Chains A and B, each alone.
Chain A
Amino acid sequence: KNEVEQSPQNLTAQEGEFITINCSYSVGISALHWLQQHPGGGIVSLFMLSSGKKKHGRLIATINIQEKHSSLHITASHPRDSAVYICAILRSGNQFYFGTGTSLTVIP
Chain B
Amino acid sequence: DGGITQSPKYLFRKEGQNVTLSCEQNLNHDAMYWYRQDPGQGLRLIYYSQIVNDFQKGDIAEGYSVSREKKESFPLTVTSAQKNPTAFYLCASSTWGGSYGYTFGSGTRLTVV
Contact = CB atoms under 8 A, between A and B. Distances in A.
Decide whether A and B assemble into one complex. yes
Interface of A: 2, 4, 30-31, 33, 35, 40-45, 48, 86, 88, 90, 94-101
Interface stretch (B20-28, B67-75, B76-84, B91-99): B91-99
A2 B109 CA distance: 24
Contact of B42 (A4, A45, A48, A90): A4
Interface of B: 31, 33, 35, 40-45, 48, 50, 58, 88, 90, 94, 96-100, 102-107, 109
Contacts of A100: 40-42
B107 A41 contact: yes
The prevalent SS among residues of A at the interface is: strand
Contacts of A97: 42
A35 B44 CA distance: 15
Given A43-B90, A95-B45, A95-B48, A48 B99 contact: yes
B40 A40 contact: no
Given A45-B103, A95-B45, 12 more contacts: A30-B99, A42-B105, A42-B107, A45-B102, A48-B102, A86-B42, A88-B43, A94-B31, A94-B33, A96-B43, A97-B42, A98-B42
